[in-house]
Chains A and B, each alone.
Chain A
Amino acid sequence: MKLREYEAKKIIREYGIPVPAGFLIQSADELPVHLAELGENIVLKAQVDVGGRGKAGGILMADRKNAVATAQDLFKKEIKGLPVREVLAEQRLGIQHEYYLSITVDRSSKQPLILFTEAGGVDIEITAKEHPEAIRTAIANPLMREIPPFMLRELVGMAPKEIGPIINRLYRVFLEKDALLAEINPLVTTPQGVFAADAKLIIDDNALGRQGFAVNRDLTDREREAEKYGFSYVELDGTIGVIGNGAGLTMSTLDLIGFYGGKAANFLDVGGGAESERVMHAVRLVGSVPSVKVIVVNLLGGITKCDEVAKGIIAADIPQKVIVRLAGTNEAEGRAMLSEKGYEMLDTMDLVVRKAVEVAA
């Protein structure tokens, strides 16, 4: 789950990384009391859960005189379709140089990867493409709680020495907050010292509970409902509902729908060990999407038992046609139960998908 800028900045400040003076406001009326502390030059940043908000007009420059009026304008805006409910009002820094610093999970080395470049302020993907030599990297050992000084020297190079301790503090944030990404872009030098002008934290969805988050804000309402039952659910824009077990098989079923010229309405992975009640909820959830004309259930039993699945499909009892493919653990029992109730069962994935594409057309 991606944290909002003000949440990320609050956390990194607690770990000793300097951030500009700033206040979160819910309306322009709250701004005047903070103006004395914000100084002459102010930046107003919409706190919305979308990327690229700067280009979408979500970041406005102001001075002390026009700050309230500018904030009023910002609160009236929609940024990529989202209303602006919260604004971070910050002191605008006298920037001398912009750096980029991030820590991510590196799949290849299976360890934290630290990236630092003196070409900050721009998208790191662009720098990586155009000036890969400008990016310095280090792989950290996740069993060590600190980055050794030699590694900091290699990363920082001739940039100001104060950046070393900041890297170490961000590394502690990364470890202790279960972050998948901890990014400061830009990290800026000013006459007053080094500051994190922007900050981004993405928390591992599998660690939200122990990090004190009750809900995953990145999910839509239906995705959140699906999560309650332990499903992975992604909404798409077609007419064929897809229920599978296992992410790979479910993805492959979507791809096959495309291959045969259809369009999937969703991706629902019931997960391993699906009990009949959960399968019932899965079928009902997909059946409740208005655009769904037909549902493909493609299940191979490993940890999932086919008889449980059959019970769930029958119990769901939805109006749309459900076309089933079942194979694996307790397969014979599951098949018998479904045939008895008149469900259409086909032997292969290609056959169920082709049939569903026909029905949907």
Chain B
Amino acid sequence: MIYGDKKTGVLVQGATGKQGEFHIGLMNAYAREVGARGVVAGVTPGKGGKEVHGVPVYNTVKEAMRDHDISASVIFVPAMAAADSIMEEAHAGIETIVAITEHIPVHDTMKALAFAKMEGCSVIGPNCPGLLSPGEVKMGIMPAGLFLRGNVGVISRSGTLTYEVVDELTRAGIGQSTVVGIGGDPVIGQTFVDVLQRFEKDPQTKAVVLIGEVGGNLEEEGAKSTDLPIVSYIAGISAPPDKRMGHAGAIVEGGEGDARSKIGRLRKLGVPVASRPSEIPDMVRDLFKGHC
């Protein structure tokens, strides 16, 4: 496990909003299924004293932390207020923050991440689906039904494409240790490098699937940083230059970050790159044959 396990107490900010309420229900259904603590408290300013699916709601993170043992949080707060929520949680002493919110202005994210770093807190996202360690903990919005416990770590800049790959792996009988969606924004907290470092220290994880897309070079930085066996897939080979492909961070700019050159650099580092998601399970099997 990385980032959390059954014993992790989770807080949800934006608990009384539509998405917050819906996903507290799903996260705690999963927690009950695997015998985990799950979401123990919610926060929405001005809604203190309410309950969401039996989870008590507080006005501030500090109040929730006084009553509960909490080490992680999931944020569903609207874009213009979400960076403030990240800082509130980091300041209150939460160790791992998962920011689901999309459309946070980049400058807000940069400030919130710099602040969280000073407070010694890890931020996953923003604009991400969170993480799931099958049989242990779900923090975020990933559909738990697709997952199978096992030894392959998955790191991805995308949400639904991650589910696609997890679905392919599970159908092929290849289980996952932890699946982390690191987010589709240009500036994100935990990058491939950070998550790979955690996977290296995780005895359960034997290989990693790295799912990237156009824009930047965080995939190559990640692949360079680790000795773990990796299979990769990069989305956006058909993406035209200077067009933002859905994610704020998925853009080929100044001739940089295009899929073909990214794939080329990964292959140069010895990383096998799948040309479509359905090829990934067989490539993972080949890795295990070679390394384990």
Contacts and interface: CB of A to CB of B under 8 A. Distances in A.
Interface of A: 105, 107-108, 110-112, 125, 141-143, 175, 178, 180, 204-207, 210, 232, 234, 236, 244-252, 254-259, 264, 267, 269, 271-273, 299-304, 327-329, 348-350
Interface string B135-158: 000000111011000000000111
Q: Which 3 A-B pairs have the closest CB atoms?
A: A248-B158, A247-B246, A246-B160
A125 B249 CA distance: 20
A207 B211 contact: no
Nearest to B254: A125
A276 B53 CA distance: 25
A255 B161 CA distance: 12
A246 B159 contact: yes
Interface of B: 18-19, 23, 26, 79-80, 100, 102-107, 109-111, 113-115, 129, 141-143, 145-146, 156-164, 167, 184, 186-189, 191, 211, 213-218, 221, 233, 235-240, 243-250, 254-255, 259, 275-278
B7 to A, nearest CB: 25
A250 to B, nearest CB: 6
Contacts of A204: 105-107
A142 B114 contact: yes
A251 B107 contact: no
A255 B110 CA distance: 31
Given A107-B217, A273-B18, 11 more contacts: A105-B187, A178-B105, A206-B106, A207-B105, A234-B240, A246-B158, A251-B213, A252-B164, A272-B102, A329-B143, A349-B277
B238 A264 contact: yes
Contacts of B213: 247-248, 251
B167 A327 contact: yes
B198 to A, nearest CB: 18
12 contacts: A105-B187, A107-B218, A204-B106, A248-B156, A248-B161, A251-B239, A272-B102, A272-B141, A302-B141, A302-B160, A303-B19, A350-B278
A142 B245 contact: no
A236 B240 contact: yes
A110 B246 contact: no
Contacts of B217: 107-108
Contacts of B246: 232, 246-248, 250-251, 267, 269
B103 to A, nearest CB: 5
Given A110-B110, A125-B255, A248 B157 contact: yes
Contacts of B160: 244-246, 248-249, 299-300, 302, 304
B44 to A, nearest CB: 18
A158 to B, nearest CB: 28
Contact of B237 (A255, A269, A348): A255
A248 B187 contact: no
B27 to A, nearest CB: 12
Contact of A271 (B102, B188, B214, B221): B102
A258 B277 CA distance: 14
A30 B273 CA distance: 59
Nearest to B171: A348
A255 B238 contact: yes
Contacts of B237: 255, 258
Nearest to A223: B243
A49 to B, nearest CB: 12
Contact of B250 (A247, A256, A349): A247
Contacts of B215: 107
Nearest to B129: A302
A206 B114 contact: no
Given A248-B184, A249-B158, A256 B218 contact: no
Contact of B278 (A248, A255, A327, A349): A349
A272 B130 CA distance: 13
A297 to B, nearest CB: 13
- Give the residue among B18, B159, B160, B259 with the most A Cβ atoms within 10 A: B160
A300 B245 contact: no
